[in-house]
């Protein structure tokens, strides 16, 4: 009636549970013959390992915890996809938590993950996390912690992010190469690092190409379609020369696109446009929106790889007795963004 255990198999074969356990785990000290025999019997009896018992005893769960703001956001869905895929191929499974950008849920979730004895945690930090105590707790418990996208340097953890500066630089330079000369930028709130990074990338690309940086062509928005519309209107009113816009993210770009279209500005002939983030709608708007891809799935894979490295390091560390190894600088992976060229930035040959 109830689940078959290794005792049942042992009884069936007149051997011992420990032998069965070893055989099923391919322990070298068991002869090939008995391994074969035990494995067949296991199948016949419909045996299925109880991972709870195994984990309790061995101290490993082969489960890693994921903490993200929301799986409803395309980017995070993509990252989770990447993590789950590579994790599975390495024998790990995924316990998924969403903070919904709420510190409270994040704290709660991390607590639960620790209770579940996950082998590691991969997280992207919620916007409104009041403090990082819960993450420091993770480190205190020696549970490998890897951060991605929303990282915090104070945590001194391995992390993977995309190079925002470089992405902005690439976007701007692409517009320059297409022959646009007066390129505006709609930025976001400057206290958020990535937006400032993107602004710097834009400025440096102009400088590096010997183009003037014009403060009138820089607008600070609030990352929304509405804000994009408003910013585009302002820019258009301020400069007669502007012939392209690099927007800090795709929603802003979309708003700008919509405003300009409605204002009768021909794109991409009279006005080039590029966004950032490769949102799912960007291929389908008119004109289709050029943008910078952040490689979510790749980011997930890299994060998991960092986790594996941390696990390996941990295993080595405990071999070296109790000697507290001086904590080395955690590995920080910076992914290259990918330029996605679509209609909105391809200037057709001038007549």
- State the DSSP H helix or E strand holding residue 177, giving kind and residue range, or none if neither: helix 164-177
Q: Are the C-beta atoms of 257 and 281 separated by less than 8 Å?
A: no
Q: Does the protein bind its own copies through residue 93 (CB under 8 A)?
A: yes
Q: Could you give the CA distance from residue 221 to residue 78 in angstroms, rounded to a whole number?
A: 26
SS3 106: helix
CA distance from start to end of the chain: 82
Angle at 334 between CA 333 and CA 340, to 5 degrees: 140
Alpha carbon of residue 110 to chain centroid: 18
Work out how close the CB of 10 gets to DNA at its nearest, in angstroms, rounded to a whole number. 7
Work out how close the CB of 36 gets to DNA at its nearest, in angstroms, rounded to a whole number. 10
Select from DNA, its own copies, none the partner in contact with residue 330, using the beta carbon and a kind-dependent cut-off of 5 to 8 Å: none
Select from DNA, its own copies, none the partner in contact with residue 21, using the beta carbon and a kind-dependent cut-off of 5 to 8 Å: DNA
Print the binding letters for residues 180-219 with DNA: x by CB under 7 A, - otherwise: ----------------------------------------
**Pairing status of strand 183-187 against strand 218-220:** parallel
User: Smaller CB distance to its own copies: residue 140 or 238?
Assistant: 140
Q: Does the protein bind DNA through residue 44 (CB under 7 A)?
A: no
Packed helices 6-13 and 32-44: angle between N→C axes, nearest 10 degrees: 120
DSSP string computed for 69-103? S-TTSHHHHHHHHHHHHHHHHTT-EEEEEE-TT-H
Q: Does the protein bind DNA through residue 114 (CB under 7 A)?
A: no
User: Smaller CB distance to DNA: residue 15 or 258?
Assistant: 15
Q: Could you give the CA distance from residue 20 to residue 93 in angstroms, rounded to a whole number?
A: 25
Print the binding letters for residues 25-54 with its own copies: x by CB under 8 A, - otherwise: -----------------------xxxxxx-
Select from DNA, its own copies, none the partner in contact with residue 84, using the beta carbon and a kind-dependent cut-off of 5 to 8 Å: its own copies
SS3 256: helix
Print the binding letters for residues 20-39 with DNA: x by CB under 7 A, - otherwise: -xx-xx--xxxx-xx-----
Work out how close the CB of 77 gets to its own copies at its nearest, in angstroms, rounded to a whole number. 4
List % helix, strand, coil for the chain (3-state, nearest 5).
45, 15, 40
Q: Does the protein bind DNA through residue 54 (CB under 7 A)?
A: yes
Q: Could you give the CA distance from residue 217 to residue 235 in angstroms, rounded to a whole number?
A: 6
Query: What residues line the site for its own copies (CB under 8 A)?
Result: 3, 48-53, 55-56, 61, 63, 66, 70-74, 76-78, 80-81, 84-85, 88, 93-98, 100, 105, 108-109, 111-112, 114-117, 141, 254, 258, 261, 279-281, 283-286, 297
Query: What residues line the site for DNA (CB under 7 A)?
Result: 2-3, 5-7, 14-19, 21-22, 24-25, 28-31, 33-34, 47, 49-50, 53-54, 56-58
């Amino acid at each position: 009636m109830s689940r078959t255990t290794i005792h049942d198999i042992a009884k069936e074969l007149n051997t011992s549970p420990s032998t069965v356990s070893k055989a099923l785990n391919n322990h070298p000290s068991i002869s090939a013959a008995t391994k074969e025999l035990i494995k067949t019997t296991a199948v016949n009896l419909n045996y299925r390992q109880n991972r709870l018992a195994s984990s309790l005893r061995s101290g490993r769960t082969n489960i890693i915890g994921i903490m993200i703001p929301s799986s409803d956001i395309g980017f995070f869905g993509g990252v989770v996809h990447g993590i789950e895929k590579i994790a599975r191929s390495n024998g790990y499974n995924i316990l998924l938590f969403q903070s919904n950008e709420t510190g409270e849920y994040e704290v709660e979730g991390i607590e639960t993950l620790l209770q579940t004895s996950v082998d590691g945690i991969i997280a992207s930090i919620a916007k409104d996390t009041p403090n990082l105590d819960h993450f420091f707790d993770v480190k205190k418990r020696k549970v490998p912690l890897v951060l991605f996208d929303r990282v915090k340097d104070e945590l001194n953890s391995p992390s993977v992010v995309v190079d925002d500066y470089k992405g902005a630089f690439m976007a701007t330079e692409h517009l320059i190469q297409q022959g646009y000369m007066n390129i505006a930028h709609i930025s976001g709130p400057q206290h958020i690092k990535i937006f400032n990074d993107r602004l710097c990338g834009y400025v440096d690309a102009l400088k590096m190409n010997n183009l003037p940086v014009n403060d009138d062509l820089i607008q600070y928005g609030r990352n929304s379609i509405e804000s994009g519309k408003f910013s585009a209107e302002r820019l258009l009113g301020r400069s007669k020369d502007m012939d392209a816009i690099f927007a800090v993210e795709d929603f802003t770009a979309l708003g700008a696109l919509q405003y300009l279209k409605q204002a009768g500005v021909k794109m991409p002939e009279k006005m080039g446009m590029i966004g950032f983030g490769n949102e799912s709608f960007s291929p389908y708007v008119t004109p289709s929106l050029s943008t910078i891809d952040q490689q979510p799935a790749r980011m997930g894979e890299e994060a998991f790889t960092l986790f594996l490295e941390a696990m390996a390091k941990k295993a080595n560390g405990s071999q070296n007795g109790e000697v507290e190894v001086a904590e080395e600088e955690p590995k920080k992976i910076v992914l290259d963004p990918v330029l996605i060229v679509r209609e909105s930035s391809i200037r057709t040959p001038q007549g």
